[in-house]
Amino acid sequence: MEKIEWSESFSVGNAKLDEQHKTIIKMINKLVTHDERSNDSETVHVILNEMMRYCMDHLTYEEQLMDRYDYADKINHKYLHVKYIEKFSDLSMQAMRAGDDVSPELTSFLSDWWVNHILVEDMKYKGSL
């Protein structure tokens, strides 16, 4: 699987959100790289737990901004976050049970979801948060 390369096309016009998105992309790339190296299960657990915590913090911050600025599509956007957390949790648990293998399904889901979410959904609030 290809690593995600950050470009200015990912910028949502908010420096803190952009930095958070860059960090999430780095975490995904770490999983992609891990998958290629196939290290130990402890590394997988650490990466997934770190990513879950960081993503939860990011999504919470983003939702707080949506509430503060009364973003019109915040209900739908928050729903997408809930569905993401559910799927990521499920795939993460599967990966942890499997041991040291990071499934292509997990890395594909994370890459596809975040790229699409940033470039489509988050761009809808660009300039308003």
**pTM attached to this predicted model:** 0.91
Is the pLDDT at 124 greater than 60? The verdict is yes
| CATH number corresponding to 14-125 | 1.20.120.50
pLDDT at 40: 63
CA angle, residues 124, 126, 127, in degrees to nearest 5: 135
Residue 51's pLDDT is what? 95
* Mean pLDDT of the residues in the chain: 91
What pLDDT, in 10s, does the model give residues 44-74? 788 889 999 999 999 999 999 999 999 999 9
Residue ranges covered by each domain of the chain: 14-125
- Residue 56: how many CB atoms within 10 A of its CB? 13
Q: What is the pLDDT of residue 23?
A: 97
